[in-house]
A = this chain, B = another copy of it.
Amino acid sequence: MNVTIRDVAKKSGYSITTVSRALNGFDDVSEETRAKIIAVAKELNYQPNRVARSLVSKTVNTIGLFVLGRSSFQQGFIADLVSGLIDEASTHDFDLLIFGTQSLKTGLPFTQLCRQRGVGGAVITGLKITDPILAELEASDFPTVLIDVPIKGPKATYVSFDNQEGISQAITHLCDLGHRKIGFINGHMEAWVCHERLAGYKKGLAKHGLVFNEAYVYNGDFTKESGRAGAKELIEKNPELTAILVASDLMAAGALEELTALGYTLPDDISLVGFDDQTFAALTSPALTTIKQDEYLLGRLAAENIIKLINDPNYQPEVKSLTTRLVVRQSTGPVKS
């Protein structure tokens, strides 16, 4: 068995109560006593049992991570996100409990599921903007941080990137290269970021005096195949396009394949910009110019927010989006004169 608080109490000669208070930094304990107790605790290598602790005091040191949608895990960035969450969480002595899609299938009122697991707050990724749970979370007093889905409740907030600005910068990059006919392969509109990216696309065009053309936009679904299909459709219907912006690297990779198969040479015939900067973006040929979002950082930010939300009842989260960064590689080039 592990060493418990009783062992520390016995060995130090103090009561369990005093040991608890000494170790938890209460100020109604003499410094001398505290020092002694801490010494004994260290000697015994005592670590409080978190299960017991969270059972009695409702202050819980566990974050729940919900990864919704079977495909979410396939997306490479989830790994970085988790990595960031863990690093930040363990800095604050928080644990990270992961739930898969199945966990929600129980139909359990979500927050209840968390409380039963001793989870103090949740980080949710992969949520669709049409999900009814969104309204619930907004009203709930259970700490929640959404990834890439806006929300504003007493205890709910979100973290994201400035997608509009990211896309807009990419358009500026293309315009600087002389492009005027720029297509856009977007993801599905159940993802909030896609609304943002579309808005950024329009805004970017407007900024450079270009007119938005509905026919230049294709709605994919984040799969490689939809990237292929999108590229094919866009270029066939609008052969005047000299550049295509794609809302994810994976779709961009599909578009790249399709365009190459159709006989286009990149970037000479057409320029291509992805989104994410996943590992493989540097590995395609030509290497993908893409809008990088640092998912690790986003993970840390999410953890930071949820921990504050859990610890401080008065915390008023302010949403600040992380910035993306355009990584220029070989898939974009000056428009052929």
Contacts and interface: CB of A to CB of B under 8 A. Distances in A.
Q: Copy number of this protein in the oligomer?
A: 2
A170 interface: no
B86 A79 contact: no
A295 to B, nearest CB: 11
Given A79-B76, A112-B2, A117 B285 contact: no
A118 interface: yes
A227 to B, nearest CB: 11
A44 to B, nearest CB: 11
A50 to B, nearest CB: 6
B116 A51 contact: yes
B90 A99 contact: yes
B98 A98 contact: yes
Interface string A60-89: 001000010000011110111011001101
B90 A100 contact: yes
A321 interface: no
Contact of A112 (B47, B98, B253): B47
Contact of A79 (B74, B250, B284): B74
Given A45-B109, A283-B283, A283-B284, 9 more contacts: A45-B108, A50-B116, A74-B83, A76-B76, A95-B97, A95-B98, A96-B98, A280-B284, A284-B285
30 contacts: A45-B108, A48-B116, A49-B115, A49-B116, A50-B118, A51-B51, A51-B117, A51-B118, A67-B86, A73-B79, A73-B83, A74-B83, A76-B76, A76-B279, A78-B79, A79-B79, A86-B98, A86-B100, A87-B102, A90-B100, A90-B103, A95-B97, A95-B117, A96-B97, A97-B97, A250-B279, A256-B283, A257-B283, A278-B280, A280-B283
Interface of A: 2, 45, 47-52, 54-55, 62, 67, 73-76, 78-80, 82-83, 86-87, 89-91, 95-100, 102-103, 108-109, 112-113, 115-118, 250, 253, 256-257, 278-280, 283-285
